[in-house]
């Protein structure tokens, strides 16, 4: 049965090349639904678009024509600079076939239709074909498969901001869950998060904890491998400071993320190759906090400015022990 489906999807990839249709997006959405053999409101349907960033007026049309909505969790967006062409991918959960529509000019819509499920992404040949057909839009593959696999809505919001789905953003999702479970804010408390070294996780942490750079909630510090090697921590990922109030004193917690504990044998997680993490994993499986240290407001200000914040904490800890 699976084999039959695979053959059918390969044929589909071959038979439906990149088409340029002289029709508006409204007609193209209707034709796309018919090509997926879906009707408006079908629970197998999902729409992924950049409309919210490039063509706000198209949102109502997409909702109206497909029946997908934010509330139902099947109208998804991805972050995109303004000025880019409008894109909308219609996606069918059971067949994992996507129909990508791109505004290619006044009344012209480019259409690409292909199967993008785990069967295709785990096969180097079909994965190559997907990359050739989707080009810069290949990032949609991971997002749509994550939706099909039941990714929670708050993770999909992180993925929207990050604009692709990857193990890095999943690691940030798990770190944010760990922070919320271990150090929930009370009263006037506020978080300050120092990302060091920096990877995709920071976008999930910013999104879930409202720690934006502009509001001074996150400080990013790229660190080279040799800056990490003499530390008493294994795979440090960041430092969370729980402040008693904004700009006040607080407690710094070192957070480590142990990638060695990830299951690298799973091939079809979120439709991605080699994604070793699942949003369903317990954050404690990977994350630990080997140090918690009380700091004054002045010490926190210095911690933000030093080149290597872990070395700073090690020296502060030694000072503390000498007292
Ligand atoms: Zn990423």
- Expressed in angstroms, the distance from the first to the final Cα of the chain is 71
**DSSP letter string, 275-318:** ----TTS-GGGTEEEEEEEEE-HHHHHHHHHSS-HHHHHHHHHH
pLDDT averages per 10-residue partition of the chain, 323 residues = 45 47 81 97 98 94 97 97 96 98 89 94 92 94 95 97 94 97 97 96 97 95 91 94 96 93 56 67 95 97 96 91 79
Ligand 1 center to residue 232 CA distance, Å?
27
Question: If we measure between CA atoms, which residue out of 67, 78, 70 comes closest to residue 100?
Answer: 78
pLDDT the model gives residue 191: 98
Q: For the sheet with 190-195, list strands across it.
A: 218-220, 190-195, 236-243, 250-257, 287-295
Tally the C-alpha atoms within 13 A of residue 309's C-alpha that lie toward its C-beta. Answer: 31
What separation in Å is there between the alpha carbon of 297 and the centre of ligand 1?
A: 33
Given this model, what pLDDT does residue 291 score?
Answer: 96
230 is written with which tokens?
């003499």
**pLDDT score for 260:** 78
Specify the pLDDT at position 142: 94
DSSP assignment letter at 183: S
Architecture of domain 167-322: 2-Layer Sandwich (3.30)
Q: 208: CA distance to ligand 1 center in Å?
A: 16
37 CA → ligand 1 middle, Å: 33
Expressed in angstroms and rounded, the spacing between residue 44 Cα and the centre of ligand 1 is 26
Parts of the chain belonging to CATH 3.30.1330.20: 2-148
Residue range 2-148, CATH number: 3.30.1330.20
Q: Which tokens is 232 given?
A: 């008493």
* Centroid of ligand 1 to alpha carbon of 38 (angstroms): 31
* pTM, 2 dp: 0.89
User: How far, in Å, from the CA of 43 to the mean position of ligand 1?
Assistant: 28
Report the pLDDT value the prediction gives residue 272, as an integer from 0 to 100: 45
Could you tell me the distance, in angstroms and rounded to a whole number, from the CA of residue 171 to the centre of ligand 1? 10
């Amino acid at each position: 049965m699976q084999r039959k489906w695979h053959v059918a999807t390969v044929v589909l990839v071959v038979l439906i090349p990149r088409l340029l249709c002289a029709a508006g997006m409204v007609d193209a959405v209707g034709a796309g639904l018919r090509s997926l053999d879906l009707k408006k409101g079908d629970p197998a349907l999902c729409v992924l678009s950049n409309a919210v960033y490039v063509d706000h007026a198209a949102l109502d049309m997409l909702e109206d024509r497909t029946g997908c909505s934010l509330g139902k969790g099947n109208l998804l967006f991805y972050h995109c600079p303004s000025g880019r062409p409008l894109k909308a991918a219609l996606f069918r959960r059971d067949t994992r076939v996507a129909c990508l529509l791109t505004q290619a000019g006044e009344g012209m819509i480019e259409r690409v239709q292909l199967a993008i499920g785990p069967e295709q992404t785990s096969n180097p040949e079909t994965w190559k074909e997907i990359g050739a057909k989707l080009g810069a839009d290949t990032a949609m593959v991971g997002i749509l498969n994550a939706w099909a696999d039941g990714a929670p809505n708050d993770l999909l919001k992180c993925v929207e901001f990050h604009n692709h789905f990857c193990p890095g953003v999943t690691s940030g999702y798990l770190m944010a869950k760990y922070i919320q479970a271990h150090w929930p804010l009370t009263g006037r408390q506020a978080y300050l998060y120092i990302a060091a070294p920096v990877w995709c996780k920071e976008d999930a942490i910013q999104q879930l904890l409202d720690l934006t750079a502009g509001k001074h909630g996150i400080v990013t510090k790229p660190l080279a491998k040799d800056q990490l090697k003499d530390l008493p921590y294994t795979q440090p990922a960041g430092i969370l400071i729980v402040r008693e109030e904004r700009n006040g004193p607080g407690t710094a917690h070192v957070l480590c993320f142990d990638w060695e504990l990830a299951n690298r044998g799973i091939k079809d997680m979120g439709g991605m190759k080699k994604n070793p993490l699942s949003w369903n994993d317990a954050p404690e499986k990977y994350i630990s906090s080997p140090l918690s240290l009380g700091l004054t407001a002045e010490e926190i200000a210095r911690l933000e400015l030093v080149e290597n914040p872990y070395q700073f904490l090690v020296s502060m800890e030694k000072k503390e022990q000498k007292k």
